[in-house]
């Protein structure tokens, strides 16, 4: 199963490091990354593969949200199907 | 591969524009529960609802976490109870109690289907059943009731209309301590749909299969935001924008509905894309109409703007899913929409304008608080007017008015939560009694003869 991870918030050092360390610890493989800075605003979207992870998507989503709170960013972890459904005809 | 702009658009819809799955509603057939005694039927009804919908709350929670879209309500709709209670109509309240208990056990928000379909005629057992509605609504918490009194095919059963005027009044009286709250759980329909996931009018039609998942998606804030982004656009462009937005919202609903059906071992029924407002700012249908250029909802142009909105929503929905059903359109409940509440407080909108609006949107006179001393025959006449609009225009219409005991024009009533608050709206003072007392059937229109 694949998921989309989005990380947004005020730019600071170490955001990508924290998020990718979390993903690596959970055996989540990053397949694609897109990241931009708009002014002071950091926005990153990742496509990840969960098939090697032992945890459920819901559990990972909850942990990612907690991590976001710790580092002062907003982190969403969602099944990629929702984006395919809404944005493709 | 994914597109970051689209990903961020979806997240903004949820975070800033109140996109949500308004309800996952499981339709359950109670026909196999029928037996000769009220006691045995009540037990079977309770057991059936509790076992079929056992996991609905957990599944909704899981889906919400996995897809990142809030699922606000978990509900159940059942076969119209008047059918189940036909062998023992005077004991119908037993079934109502069993349904309410099942809803509490499951932890769902509402259970709909304490209903009767009497659009052409009313059997004695149905009349007896309908007479139990006020007491049942007063003594239960989560049970909702609806009665279909007319259809484009059959005409309007004016005996049932007259009876429902009395029932609405009695329900208000029995729940006077809660400002007539019972009436918020009672809908009188013309052309009721059998797969509606929204309350208070949901029931599981007899033409449906055993267990079905219907999903209601909302998102007035998303549409409002999309329109605010194109302030100079003409109305064709605005309609196109609404359509595209409705497409996206419906697709989200369809995905959740399919997955919920799979996990709950039910059939995927329909997606109902209705713009259902809540009293929260940024979640208002009235504000969409105002974003189209009206100073206040209720002013001239409101009906035209609503007609366009309702049609564009349907077109976007139909493009997104081949299983669109329910009401699918725009809801205009007064007490549940912050824009409507403010317009009513200013006196910018009245019952007559709302009636006109119901000719072009997906529902009827909804969540309108009226003076407590409004005669039952006046309420019946309001029902008749709405039913006539529905019958002639081949659409669903409904009346959910609350004659608030002891309150008059100028007062305000608060029902709390999603039901919101409303100023008491005046109704016409001249009597409709002699018209309502005639009874009989208003024949179906000529264009219903299509065979």
What does the mean pLDDT of chain A come to? 94
Contacts across the A-B interface (CB distance below 8 Å): 67
Compute the average pLDDT of residues B419-428.
95
Asked if pLDDT for residue B143 goes beyond 90, the answer is yes
What pLDDT, on the 0 to 100 scale, is given for residue B444? 96
A41–chain B nearest CA distance, Å? 13
Show Cβ contacts of residue B352 under 8 Å, excluding neighbours closer than 6 positions.
Answer: none
Asked if pLDDT for residue B2 goes beyond 80, the answer is no
pLDDT in tens, B20-39: 999 999 999 999 999 989 99
Model confidence at B60, pLDDT cuts 50, 70, 90, reads very high
- Per CB-CB distance under 8 Å, the chain B contacts of A83 are 2, 6-7, 10
Are B108 and B141 a contacting pair, CB within 8 Å? no
Who among A43, A56, A87 is closest to B3 (CB)? A87
Tell me the residue length of chain A.
89
Residue-wise DSSP of chain A: -EEEEEEEEE--TTHHHHHHHHHHHTTPEEEEEEEEEETTEEEEEEEEE-TT-SS-HHHHHHHHHHHHHHHT-EEEEEETHHHHHHH--
Q: Domain ranges in chain A? A: 2-86
What pLDDT, on the 0 to 100 scale, is given for residue B4? 85
What pLDDT, on the 0 to 100 scale, is given for residue B337? 95
Cα B224 from Cα B222, distance rounded (Å) = 5
Three-state secondary-structure class, residue B442:
strand
Say if the Cβ atoms of B68 and A87 lie within 8 Å: no
Say if the Cβ atoms of A77 and B254 lie within 8 Å: no
Asked if pLDDT for residue B148 goes beyond 60, the answer is yes
Q: Which residues pair with B83 in a beta bridge?
A: none
A19–chain B nearest CA distance, Å? 17
pLDDT in tens, B237-291: 999 999 999 999 999 999 999 999 999 999 999 999 999 999 888 899 999 999 9
What pLDDT, on the 0 to 100 scale, is given for residue B445? 95
Model confidence at A39, pLDDT cuts 50, 70, 90, reads confident
What pLDDT, on the 0 to 100 scale, is given for residue B1? 57
Per-residue DSSP letter, B59: H
Class of domain A2-86: alpha beta
What does the mean pLDDT of chain B come to? 95
Say if the Cβ atoms of A43 and B66 lie within 8 Å: no
ipTM reported for the complex, 2 dp: 0.87
Say if the Cβ atoms of A4 and B7 lie within 8 Å: yes
Compute the average pLDDT of residues A26-43.
93
- Per CB-CB distance under 8 Å, the chain A contacts of B2 are 4, 32, 45, 47, 80, 83
Asked if pLDDT for residue A80 goes beyond 70, the answer is yes
Compute the average pLDDT of residues B214-226.
92
B195–chain A nearest CA distance, Å? 23
Compute the average pLDDT of residues B115-130.
98
Cα A9 from Cα A16, distance rounded (Å) = 12
Cα B299 from Cα B350, distance rounded (Å) = 10
Say if the Cβ atoms of B252 and A80 lie within 8 Å: no
Per CATH, the number for B11-441 is 3.20.70.20
Compute the average pLDDT of residues B360-383.
96
């Amino acid at each position: 199963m694949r998921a989309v991870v989005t990380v947004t918030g005020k730019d600071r050092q170490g955001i990508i490091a924290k998020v990718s360390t979390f993903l690596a610890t959970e055996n989540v493989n990053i397949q694609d990354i897109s990241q931009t800075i708009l002014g002071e605003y950091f926005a990153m979207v990742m496509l990840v593969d969960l098939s090697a992870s032992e945890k459920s998507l819901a559990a990972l989503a909850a942990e990612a949200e907690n991590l976001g709170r710790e580092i002062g960013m907003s982190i969403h972890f969602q099944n990629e199907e929702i984006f395919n459904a809404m944005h493709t005809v | 591969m994914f597109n970051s702009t689209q990903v961020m658009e979806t997240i903004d819809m949820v975070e800033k524009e109140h996109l949500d799955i308004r309800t996952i509603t499981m339709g359950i057939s109670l026909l196999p529960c029928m037996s000769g005694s009220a006691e045995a039927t009540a037990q079977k009804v309770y057991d059936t609802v509790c076992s079929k919908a056992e996991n609905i709350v957990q599944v909704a929670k899981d889906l919400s976490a996995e897809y990142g879209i809030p699922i606000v309500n978990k509900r159940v709709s059942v076969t119209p109870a008047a059918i189940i209670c036909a062998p023992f109509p005077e004991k119908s309240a037993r079934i109502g109690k069993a349904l309410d208990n099942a809803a509490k056990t499951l932890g769902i928000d509402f259970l709909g289907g304490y209903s009767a379909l009497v659009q052409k005629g009313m059997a004695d057992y149905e009349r007896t059943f309908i007479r139990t509605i006020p007491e049942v609504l007063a003594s239960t918490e989560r049970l909702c009731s609806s009665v279909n009194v007319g259809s484009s095919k059959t005409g309007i059963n004016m005996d049932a209309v007259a009876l429902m005027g009395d029932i609405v009044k009695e329900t208000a009286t029995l729940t006077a301590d809660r400002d007539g709250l019972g009436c918020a759980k009672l809908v009188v329909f013309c052309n009721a749909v059998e797969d509606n996931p929204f309350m208070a009018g949901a029931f599981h039609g007899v033409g449906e299969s055993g267990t079905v998942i219907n999903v209601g998606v909302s998102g007035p804030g998303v549409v409002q935001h999309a329109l605010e982004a194109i302030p100079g656009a003409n109305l064709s462009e605005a309609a196109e924008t609404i359509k595209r937005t409705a497409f996206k919202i419906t697709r989200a609903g369809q995905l959740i509905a399919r997955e919920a059906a799979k996990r709950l071992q039910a059939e995927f029924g329909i997606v109902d894309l209705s713009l259902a407002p809540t009293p929260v700012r940024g979640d208002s249908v009235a504000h969409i109409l105002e974003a189209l250029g009206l100073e206040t909802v209720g002013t001239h142009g409101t009906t035209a703007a609503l007609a366009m909105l309702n049609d564009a929503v349907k077109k976007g929905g139909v493009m997104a899913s081949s299983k669109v059903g329910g009401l699918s359109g725009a809801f205009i409940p007064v007490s549940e929409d912050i824009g409507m509440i403010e317009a009513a407080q200013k006196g910018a909108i009245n019952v007559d304008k709302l009636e006109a609006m119901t000719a072009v949107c997906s529902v009827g006179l909804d969540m309108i608080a009226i003076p407590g001393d409004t005669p039952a025959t006046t309420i019946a006449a309001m029902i008749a007017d709405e039913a006539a609009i529905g019958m002639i225009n081949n659409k669903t219409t409904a009346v959910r008015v609350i004659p608030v005991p002891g309150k008059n024009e100028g007062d305000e009533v608060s029902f709390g939560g999603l039901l919101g608050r409303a100023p008491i709206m005046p109704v016409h003072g001249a009597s409709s009694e002699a018209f309502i007392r005639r009874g009989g059937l208003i024949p179906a229109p000529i264009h219903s003869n299509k065979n």
